[in-house]
Chain A
Amino acid sequence: MDKFLAMGGYADFVWPAYAVFFLVLAADVLATVLRRRRVLRELRGRIARRSARQRGSVSA
């Protein structure tokens, strides 16, 4: 296992390269998940406001 992690002396280059590959793609996925939450929150507020306004105009 130590031999595997040492990467024949190139551990300082091989592992950061793999880390960059997976971290950048993980950031891409995370950005979408967060944007989806934000958009859904906005849309829920929008729908709630609209139905509240409709109820208001019916009672008036």
Chain B
Amino acid sequence: MNAFKLWYHKLGSPPYFYVFAGYIQPWLWTIALALAAAGLYGGLVLAPPDYQQGDAFRIIFVHVPAAWMSLFVYGVMAVSAFIAVVWRPKMAEVLAMESASIGAAFTLIALVTGSLWGRPTWGTYWTWDARLTSELVLLFIYLGVIGLYHAFEDPRQGARAASFLAVVGAVNLPIVHYSVVWWNTLHQGTTVRYFGPSSIAPSMLWPLLAMTIAAKFYYGASLMGRARVSLLSLERGKDWVAEIVRKEPAHG
């Protein structure tokens, strides 16, 4: 517990976090790209066509990881935002605000790829069903958080207001997740389960898991890069930033 507390406080310090993030970033990128390469090969080449959907089912390997990430990133953002609202450490604000942009990107991907999958399988690009509508609301909440953050002159004030919105907006998460259970939807229910057997063939499951974990590592890599830039900007008057700028090669 003491080691964890020490680590938590160290990472809460911007100069330490900057160095730490720069150190782990290349590893996160390497793992993300390697897993994505394996997942793409398994999903596009090795997995056989679905007996009902033919090759259209291959959209699953980008759609499902993006949709899961749209909820996962929101969860991380909401926890950081809660910490930011209650205890106000700068790092929690940075992680929450930078997560919002990445989460919005994944939500947009989930909506567009889902639409492209819906056309050949359901016969429509869009329908106002509970899962699709709640996912669209999720995108609007992300955009609201980003917009509110940028609406303030003082970024710390903006981060606090936007963090509050992010915490309140978390009520939408269970609605998205359980929408296929609570309402009669066109969208299918869960086929991949953590506990008990998944109703998906192993040759289709492993590329899906590879792409899912790749997306998690991508999120980590992107978040580290974004947090570093944000820290340089927020701490611009500090000596440690001047030190880094002096060392950084021009046009870097």
Contacts and interface: CB of A to CB of B under 8 A. Distances in A.
Interface of A: 4, 7-10, 13-14, 16-18, 20-21, 24-25, 27-29, 31-32, 35-37, 39-40, 42-44, 46-47
A41 to B, nearest CB: 9
A48 B109 CA distance: 42
A14 B225 contact: no
6 shortest interchain CB distances as A-B pairs? A8-B55, A21-B62, A10-B56, A7-B55, A17-B113, A8-B54
Contacts of B56: 7-8, 10, 13-14
A17 B59 contact: yes
Nearest to A44: B245
B105 A35 contact: no
Interface of B: 44-45, 49, 54-56, 58-59, 62-63, 66, 101-102, 105, 108-109, 112-113, 116-117, 119-120, 218, 222, 225-226, 228-229, 232-233, 236, 241-242, 245-246, 248, 250-252
Given A16-B116, A32-B225, A36-B228, 5 more contacts: A13-B116, A14-B56, A17-B62, A17-B63, A28-B102
A25 B218 contact: yes
Nearest to A37: B251
A20 B112 contact: yes
Nearest to B237: A46
B62 A10 contact: no
A10 B241 contact: no
B222 A32 contact: yes
The interface centre, meaning the residue of A9, A21, A25 with most chain B CB atoms within 10 A of its CB, is: A21
Contacts of A24: 105, 108-109
Given A21-B66, A27-B105, A39-B229, A14 B245 contact: no
24 contacts: A4-B44, A7-B56, A8-B54, A8-B55, A10-B55, A13-B59, A13-B120, A14-B58, A17-B59, A17-B63, A17-B112, A20-B62, A21-B66, A21-B109, A21-B113, A29-B222, A36-B225, A37-B251, A39-B229, A39-B233, A42-B233, A42-B236, A43-B242, A47-B245
